[in-house]
Chain A
Amino acid sequence: MTTMTTTELWCDRCGESATATAHPACASARQLEPPRFCPHCRRRMKVQVLPVGWSAVCVEHGEIRG
């Protein structure tokens, strides 16, 4: 089993480092968008938007829903 840190290393919208700089534009855009990149490993996730909510799957880190 891999140890998963709780820190988000990557911006889930643009996929760039989340620790180096803040991403206010991404944070604001995310109010009307689902995440696209896994915050733990930066992989592009498989995202399904539904009329209510969304799901996003990283092959390594599993599914998140919103």
Chain B
Amino acid sequence: MPEILDQARTQVLGDGVGLDQAGVLAVLNLPDEHLPAALQLAHDVRMRWCGPEVEVEGIVSLKTGGCPEDCHFCSQSGLFTSPVRSVWLDIPSLVEAAKQTAATGATEFCIVAAVRGPDARLMKQMREGVAAIKAEVDIQVAASLGMLSKEQVDDLVDMGVHRYNHNLETCRSYFPNVVTTHSWEERWETLRMVRDSGMEVCCGGILGLGETVEQRAEFAAQLAELNPHEVPLNFLNPRPGTPLGDRPVVEGKDALRAIAAFRLAMPRTILRYAGGREITLGDLGTRDGLLGGINAVIVGNYLTTLGRPATADLELLDELKMPVKALSATL
């Protein structure tokens, strides 16, 4: 057994204290033959500190495309020649999407908009949309609307949005290579305000943007410092027309190493499989991740791309004897 896994067994599994940056890097650098042991340990950590439940979430795009920012992985930036056009979802369709999500047994419904931050029109649409969902659907509402002002944070709390997603996307040292229209620190500031408001913080990122393994470890350490309630882990799905459109996808084994390492850095967080798992890991990868530290999934489609059918994930959870987290347990 490599020394880092021995150390993690005592420190993370035993005491619930996450690995630091150097420890995460050691896990990310483990040779293939030790990957099964790392995944098993990450799974044990998740079972001990989070339990067997899996949190199921659906997401929908309220406002697609035409974003003024230049995140180099994103097909929704209006600055690239991506084929994604700008479109708004109306409120009846938003409520219908929430119903479809609730029908899978999901407890979380996240409303996402491709914006730098919300304007008055978007906040009005949110207020009406969240109220309409709450009137008709039994599900918790989360939001992801970019950078917020303090007033907007307060408004979202007032609407009953219980969790806010704002991804740091990548580590601080690599961020300027990926985004030039705003800074990592600006994102951190929104996260700080969200945390201070009492909303749950959801913050993760995308692996495979061209960051080094050292920078992946840096990112895990920075997330651990933020200590989010949830960390969504995406793997780059290279989008046509974006600056990262020709990048290779993350190797399956590197993706699994990252899952184990991020779990060992954050033993208690909700670690969610988000976008890109289908192309990086295929159908088998979902199983490996759920047995390697993941304890939450996005089911159904993503914002501009499609996922596997929700039933495929739910059947797998059933087979793995991992109960879907119930709404009563989250309220």
> Which residues of A approach B to under 8 Å, CB–CB?
13-15, 31-34, 36-37, 44-54
Contact = CB atoms under 8 A, between A and B. Distances in A.
Contacts, number: 67
B85 A49 contact: no
Contacts of A48: 61, 64, 87, 89, 93
B77 to A, nearest CB: 15
13 contacts: A34-B304, A44-B85, A48-B61, A48-B87, A48-B93, A49-B303, A49-B306, A50-B60, A50-B96, A51-B101, A51-B300, A52-B100, A53-B301
Contacts of A33: 304-306
A47 B84 contact: yes
Pairs of residues from A and B, 8 with the lowest C-beta to C-beta distance, nearest first? A36-B83, A51-B300, A51-B58, A46-B87, A52-B100, A51-B100, A32-B306, A51-B101
Nearest to A32: B306
B306 A54 contact: yes
Contacts of A31: 306
Which residue among B86, B87, B299, B310 has the maximum number of chain A CB atoms within 10 Å of its CB?
A: B87
B184 interface: no
B301 A49 contact: yes
Interface residues of B, number: 30
A49 B304 contact: yes
A3 to B, nearest CB: 27
Interface of B: 58-61, 64, 83-87, 89, 93, 96-97, 100-101, 104, 240, 278-279, 299-307, 310
Contacts of B84: 36, 47
Nearest to A33: B305
Contact of B306 (A34, A44, A46): A34
Contacts of A15: 83
B305 A52 contact: no
Contacts of A46: 85-87
Contact of A50 (B83, B93, B279): B93
Contacts of B64: 47-49
B143 to A, nearest CB: 16
B312 to A, nearest CB: 13
A52 B310 contact: yes
B236 to A, nearest CB: 14
Contact of B85 (A45, A50, A51): A45
Which residue among A13, A33, A44 has the maximum number of chain B CB atoms within 10 Å of its CB?
A: A33
Nearest to B98: A51
Contacts of A14: 240
Nearest to B90: A48
Contacts of B301: 49-54
Which residue among B60, B240, B310 has the maximum number of chain A CB atoms within 10 Å of its CB?
A: B240
Contacts of B304: 33-34, 47, 49
B305 A49 contact: yes
A36 B85 CA distance: 9
A27 to B, nearest CB: 14
